[in-house]
């Protein structure tokens, strides 16, 4: 998978779960996940799981309005 495919899948997972985020916010979160969790240099042949990365990131979120 390419970097762009990885980020698109990650953004799609954010959009699926965090329905209150805009498309732009999902893309931004995916970019941050990519930078934080994917080993450099990026290996297009490795099996990275962008959905798992998004789930891990969202598991850290808290409800600040409470």
Q: Is 46 exposed, middle or buried (0-12, 13-18, 19+ CB in 10 A)?
A: exposed
Residue 28 has pLDDT above 90, yes or no: yes
Length of the chain, please?
66
- The predicted pLDDT at position 2 comes to 84
Where are the chain's structural domains? 3-59
Q: Which residue has the tokens 């789930």?
A: 55
pLDDT at residue 64, rounded to an integer? 60
- d(Cα 59, Cα 5) in Å, to the nearest integer? 23
Tell me the angle at which helices 3-17 and 50-59 cross, rounded to the nearest 10 degrees.
40
Q: Average per-residue pLDDT in the chain?
A: 86
pLDDT confidence band for 38 (50 / 70 / 90) = confident
């Amino acid at each position: 998978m390419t970097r762009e495919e990885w980020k698109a899948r990650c953004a799609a997972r954010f959009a699926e779960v965090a329905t209150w985020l805009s498309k732009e916010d999902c893309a931004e979160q995916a970019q941050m996940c990519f930078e934080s969790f994917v080993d450099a240099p990026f290996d297009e042949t490795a099996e990275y799981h962008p959905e798992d990365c998004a789930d891990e990131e969202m598991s850290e979120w808290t409800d600040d309005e409470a």
